[in-house]
Structures are given as structure tokens and as C-alpha cells.
Structure 1
Amino acid sequence: MLITNIRAHHVRIPYDSGVASFRQGASAISALDTVVVEVSTDAGITGWGDAFAYVCPRTTCTAVEEMIAPQARGLEVPDAAGIPAFMEQIQRNLHLFGRYGITMFAISGLDIALWDLAAKVKGVPLHRLMGETRRARIPAYASLLRIGTPKLIAGECEAALRLGYSAIKLHETTTPAVFAAREAIGGGVPLMVDMNCPLDGATAIAFAHACQAAAPMFLEEPVWPPEDFVTLAEVRAKGGLDIAAGENACTVHQFRQMMTAGAVSFAQPSVIKVGGITEFLKVAALADELGVGVVPHSPYFGPGFLATLHLMSLRPDGFIEVFYMKRAACLWRGRIDVDANGSIEVPQGPGLGYEPDKEVMEQYRVS
């Protein structure tokens, strides 16, 4: 079976995040941009992937079509055992364009699509192809966007719990925000604090100490720059709280640097950024070897989210991250919504389990 074509589809679905906001620089973001990667074969079987693209969808689409497609078009579709070598060769061929960022985002999209194809050829769900399934449902946490005002934060936390979410993550950088959330959700609900890399080491240590009474499960990326693993390890050692990081890391090699530096209690690979399922599996194996937890970065709603569900079904514990927002539409017709018990069912169909809704793709396609 040969790869006949690789296409990148830019899909933009508006959302409503209520009192929260999602900003990149000076711009507010009001829609989710997804680059869905379609891999066609001469057998008529299609694989679907996902390449990270929040504010760079056209750039990611170009990377898929100009860098990735020429590398893979016309080649034999690998089986599951052959995907790692197939993808390593593509990484080698494209390494001069960088081992991080857009190149790896595009590589991730192809990798996910190849795993989807491999499982479809076998007629099994992806998780069965990858290993022993331990969970049929994955608990979800509500990943709140930046709000700022403690009273409004408390209200959103309470609303998320009413919808069934079993844990909360903030994107806040002040102690009043953290304590407002804790007071709203009570002591038994896990609370995570994502800071998005704002602080130097000394300030991060002080912030960690100031937050201890609120008992966050972890502080996520408190330090700038995110690849300063030495300083991050110091914050972990001296701040008195667990540290999580990894959404900005690509390939298992960078995660090895992070983990061996003692920088993290929890690794957070993002399947649509790290290099796909292949690299995610390597990161998870390394984390297990070194005694580091795995809490993936997954605030997206394309094929990468389905892939993350399958990957987390192989693990005995851990959450999946869900952006707390109301979307105008869903590629999977509501099948990935959080249930009343705060979890999401792992798809059981062949491959990723679901095919993207073509009507939704066409309605929200950006030419």
C-alpha cells in the first residue's frame, strides 16, 4: 500500500470562553485553528493527523505540503513496527530546518496519520495496536483560559465542576487567583497552575512558597525560558511544589535533558508538537524509567486529541486536558465531550476511532 497524497486542511472553529481570554501577544484569539493532515493511499484507506497551529495555521500547512508531503509521497505505508524508522528518516532528512517548532509540528501530523493508517489496516483501535489497554475512560480536567479576577475565577471553577470535570487547571500568575480557585473547588479536587513561562528562578521559588497552602498538584512552566532546565530544577528543589513542563519540548532527546536535570515531576508531551505518537511513546517510556509522571498537553480538538485518549488508555493513571470553552462545532459530533462523571470514552473504532465530520470540515475550512 503506497502513500498517494498528503494534504493539510486548515479548519477554524469559533469558540466562546465567557469571561476568559486567550491571547498571543497583543491579539485575542477567538477561534481554534486546526491543521488536519490527510494521508491518502492507493488502497483507498485514509489516515488523519494533526499538526499544531494555534496562531500559525498557514505556516504549518505550508510545512506539511512543502516539507512533509515530498518526503513521504509514493512510499510504502509502514506498519506499526516500521513507523519509528520511517519517521526517524524523515526527521534526519529535515533536520536542517530545525528540531523544534514548525518542522516538528508538521512531522507530528504525519506520524499520527501513519499510526491511524496502521491500526485501520489491522482493523483495530489504535490503543490495541500500541499495547495493553488499562483504561476505557480517561478523566478530564478543565483547562481554564486566563481570567485574572479572583471572583470570576471562582465562578468558572464552580461551573466546571458542575459540568462534571474532575480537576481544574488555571492559566494564572497571581496568588489571589490560586487561592480563589482552591476555595471554590474545595480541598479534594486536584488544582494545577499553568504560568506559561513568566518568571526568573528566584521569583518562581517565591511564588511556589506563597502558593503552598493552596496545595496545587503542580506549577506548570513557571520559568523563562522554558528550556532552562537547570533553573527549573532549582525551582522544583527549593520551591516546595511539584513542577510540570514539556508542551514546548520536541523529541525524546529534549525530554531526556529535562528529566535528567531533575526539572520536572510531571512531563507534558504534546502529541501534535513533540513528533507525534512515536515520540510520545518514547517520552512516556523514559518518564516511567526515571519515575516521572505523564500529564500530556492536549488542549485541542482535532485528531491529536483522539490520539492522546488512546495513549492515556495505556497508562494506569493521569488526566487529559480539555480547553474550557463552548465550541461552535465539533469534528467528532460531540463524541469527545466530557460526561457527567468527568471523563471521556476512549474510541473503540479502527484507527483513531472516528472519522472527522466532512460537513464540519467544509463549513469551517479556511482556503
Structure 2
Amino acid sequence: MLITNVRAHHVRIPYDAGVGSFRQGASAIAALDIVMVEVSTDAGLTGWGEAFAYVCPRTTATAIDEMIAPQARGLEVPDAEDIPALMDRIQRNLHLFGRYGITMFAISGLDIALWDLAGKVKALPLHRLIGARRRARIPAYASLLRIGAPDQVAGECATALRRGYTAIKLHETTTPAVFAAREAIGAGMPLMVDMNCPLDGAGATAFAQACRPAALKFLEEPVWPPEDFATLAEVRTKGGLDIAAGENACTVHQFRQMMNAGAVNYAQPSVTKVGGVTEYLKVAALADEMDIKLAPHSPYFGPGLLATLQLMSLRDDRTFVEVFYMNRAACLWRGSVDTGPDGTVAVPDGPGLGYEPDKEIMERYRVS
């Protein structure tokens, strides 16, 4: 079976997040930009992947069309055990363009699609290609967008609890907002804070120390720049809170640098950024070797979320899947990845990633 084409699809789905705002750098994000990677074959089977694309979907799509597609067209569709060798070759071929950012996002999309295809060839879900499923449903945490006002933070947290969520993550940078959330959800519920890399070491340490009474499960990415693992390790030592990081890291090699520096208690590989399923599995194995917990980054609703659910089902470690707390105008999977009233998301049972995207939704929200 041969790969006949690799194509990027830009799908833009509006959302309503209530009082929160979603920003990437200086840019406000008013809709979910999903770049889906379609791998077609001469046997009629299709694999679907996702490449990270917030703010820059056209750039990611161009990378897929110009850099990734020529690497894959005409190749034999690899079996699951052969995907790592193929992806290593493609990474080597493209290393001139860097092993970080857009290049790795595009590689991730292809890798996920190849694993989807491998599962479809065998008529098995992705998790069965790797090992035994340990969980059929994954508990979700509500990943709130940045709100700011403490009273509104408390209100959104209370609403998330009523909707069944059993853990909350904030994207706040002030202690009043953090303590308002803790008061709203009570003492026993897991609470996390993602700062998105705003502070120097002294500022991050001071913030961590100030938040200690709020009993955070972890403080995520408090330090700028995110690759300053030495400073992050210092914050972990002096701040008194567990530290999580990794959504900005690509390949297992950067995670090894992070872990060797003693920078994290929780490693956060993002399957749409790190290099796909192949690199995610390497990061998971390294984390186990170094006794570091996994807390996957997954605030997306395309094939990347399906892949994350499949991978998380292999581990009975009580980890939560990250779900953006927002109301989408549409769902590519006909609502199958919605969080249930018990605060969990079902792991797909179908072949490959488990579901086929809704073509009508893709066409309705396609960006030419």
C-alpha cells in the first residue's frame, strides 16, 4: 500500500468561552484553528493527523505542503513498528529547518496520521498497537482561559464544577485570582495554574511561594524563556510547589535536557508539537525512567485530542486530559469527545484514532 498524497486542511471553528479570553502572544484568538493532515493511499484508506497551528495555520499548512508531503509521497505505508525509523529519517532530512516549532508541528501531524493508518490497516485502535488499555475513560480537567477578575474566576470555576469537572486549571498570573478559585472549588479538588512563561526566576519563585497556601497540584511554565531549565529548576527548589512544563518542548532530546536539569515534577508533551505519537512515547519512557510524572498538554479538539486519549488510556496513573473550557460551534467528532456528566472523556474504540472526522463539518468550516 502506497502513500499517494499528504494534504493539509485548515478548519476554523468559532467558540464561546464566556468571560475568558484566549491569547497567543499579542494575538487574541477568536476561533479554533485546526490544521488536519490527511494521508491518502492507493488502497483507499486515509489517515488523519493534526499539526499545532494556533495563530499561524497558514504557516503550518504550508510547511506540510512544502516540507512534509514530498518526504512521504510514494512511500509504502509503514507498519506501526516501522513508523519510528521513518520519522527518524524525515527528521534527519528536515533538520536544516530546525528541530523546534513549525517544522516539528508539521512532522507531528504526519506521524499521528501514520499511526492512524497503521491502526486502520490492522483494524485495531491506536492503543492496541502499543500495549494494553488500562482506562476506558479519562478524567478531564477544565482548562479555563485567562479571566483576570477574581470574582469572575470564582464564578467560572463554580460553573465548571456543576458541569461535572473534577479538576481545574487556570491561566492566571495574580494570586487573588488563584485564591478565588481555591475558595470556589474547595480544599479537596485539584487546582493547577498555567502562567505561559511570563516571569524571571525571582518573580516566579515569589509567585510560587505566595501560592503555596492554595495547595496547587502544579505551577505550569512560570519562567521566561521556557527553555531556561536551570532557572526553572531553581524555582522548583525554592518555590515550594511542583512544577510542570513541556508544551513548548520538541523531541525527546529537549525533554531529556529538562529532566536532567531537575526542572519538572510533571512533563507535558504535546502530541501535536513534540513529534507526534512516536516522540510522545519516547518522552513517556524517559519520564518513567527518571520517575517524573506525565501531564500531557492537549488543549485542542482535532485528531491530536483523539491521539492523546489513546495514549493516556495505556497508563493507569490517574492523570487528567486537558479540555479547553469553551462552547464550540461544532465538533469534528459529532460530540464523541465531549466531557460527560461524570467529568470523564471516553477513549475511542474504533480503528486507528477511533473516529473519522465529520466531512460536512470540515467543509462548513474550511478556510481556503
TM (norm. structure 2) is: 0.99
C-alpha distance in 1, partners of 2:308/2:288? 17
| Amino acid in the other structure paired with 2:31 | A
Secondary structure, in 3 states, of the residue corresponding to 1:55? coil
**CA distance in structure 1 between the aligned counterparts of 2:353 and 2:22, rounded to whole angstroms:** 28
How many Å separate the matches in 2 of 1:51 and 1:26? 21
Tell me the amino acid that sits aligned with residue 224 of structure 2: W
Please say if residues 71 and 90 of structure 2, whose CA atoms lie closer than 8 Å, have aligned partners that are also in contact: yes
Does structure 1 retain, via aligned residues, the 8 Å contact 2:27–2:55?
no
Question: CA separation in 1, counterparts of 2:3 and 2:280?
Answer: 23
Paired letter, 1:7: R
Corresponding position: 1:89 with 2:89: yes
Q: Which amino acid letter does the alignment assign opposite residue 268 of structure 2?
A: Q
Match of 2:253 in 1: 253
- In the alignment, what sits opposite 1:326? 327
SS in 1 for 2:306: helix
Do residues 57 (structure 1) and 57 (structure 2) align? Answer: yes
Task: Report deviation, 1:26.
Answer: 3.7
**Alignment partner, residue 234 of structure 2:** 234
Residue deviations 1:70-115 (CA, integer Å, cap 9, x gap)? 0010001110100000000000000000100000000000000000
Alignment correspondent of 1:286: 286
| Distance in 1 separating the partners of 2:133 and 2:279 | 19
Aligned to 2:161: 161
Q: CA deviation at 1:290?
A: 0.4
> What does residue range 154-193 of structure 1 map to in structure 2 within 5 Å?
154-193=154-193
**Structure 2 CA distance for aligned equivalents of residues 8 and 50 of structure 1:** 9
Per-residue deviation, residues 134-182 of structure 1 (Å, max 9, x unmatched): 1000000000000000000000000001111110000001100110000
What secondary structure is seen at the aligned counterpart in 1 of 2:129?
Answer: helix
* AA in 2 matched with 1:259: M
1:139 aligns with 139
In structure 1, what is the Cα distance between the partners aligned to 2:138 and 2:34? 23
Report the residue type matching 1:342 in the other structure.
G
2:168 touches 2:192 (CA, 8 Å); kept in 1? yes
- Give the corresponding residue for 2:104: 104
Aligned amino acid, residue 108 of structure 2 = S
2:331 is matched by which residue type in structure 1?
C
- What's the secondary structure of 2:38's corresponding residue? strand
| AA of the residue aligned to 2:234 | E
TM-score norm. by structure 1 comes to 0.99
Provide the C-alpha distance between the structure 2 equivalents of 1:67 and 1:288, rounded to a whole number of angstroms.
Answer: 33
Amino acid at match of 2:247: E
Match of 1:48, SS? strand
> Structure 1 residue 132: deviation in Å?
1.5
- Please state whether the residue corresponding to 2:219 is helix, strand or coil: strand
AA aligned opposite 1:219: L
How far, CA to CA, are the matches of 2:27 and 2:268 in structure 1?
Answer: 26
The alpha carbon displacement at 1:29 in A equals: 1.1
Q: Secondary structure at the match of 1:47?
A: strand
Letter in 2 for 1:181: A
Do structure 1's residue 312 and structure 2's residue 308 form an aligned pair?
A: no
Which aligned segments of 4 or more residues in structure 1 are displaced greater than 4 angstroms?
none
SS in 1 for 2:48: strand
Q: How many residues align?
A: 367
Aligned equivalents of 1:96, 1:166: Cα separation in 2: 44
Give SS of 1:193's match: strand
Report the counterpart of residue 265 of structure 1 in structure 2.
265
Structure 1: gaps spanning 5 or more residues: none
- 1:282-306 Cα offsets, whole Å, 9 max, x none, are 0001001101000000000000000
1:353 maps to: 354
SS in 2 for 1:253: helix
Give the residue type in structure 2 aligned to 1:313.
Answer: S
Matching of residue 296 in structure 1 with residue 300 in structure 2: no
The 2-side partners of 1:110 and 1:184 are apart by: 42
AA paired with 1:129? L
Aligned CA-pair RMSD: 0.6
What letter matches 1:202 in structure 2? A
Q: Distance in 1 between matches of 2:358 and 2:267?
A: 32
Once residues 36 and 219 of structure 2 are traced to their aligned partners in structure 1, the CA distance between those partners, rounded to angstroms, is 31
* Residue in structure 1 matched with residue 118 of structure 2 by the alignment: 118
SS in 1 for 2:94: helix
**What SS does the corresponding residue of 1:183 show, helix, strand or coil?**
helix
| CA deviation after TM superposition for structure 1 residue 215, in Å | 0.3
CA distance in 1, matches of 2:293, 2:25: 31
Counterpart of 1:225?
A: 225
Helix, strand or coil for the counterpart of 1:121? helix
Task: Report if aligned partners of 2:299, 2:323 keep a CA contact under 8 Å in 1.
Answer: yes
Q: Distance in 1 between matches of 2:60 and 2:225?
A: 23
Cα deviation digits, residues 222-275 of structure 1 (max 9, x gap): 000000000000000111100000000000000000011100000000000000
2: distance between equivalents of 1:258 and 1:26? 27
Q: Secondary structure at the match of 2:274?
A: coil
Letter of the aligned partner of 2:338 in structure 1?
D
Q: Secondary structure at the match of 1:305?
A: helix
Aligned to 1:215: 215
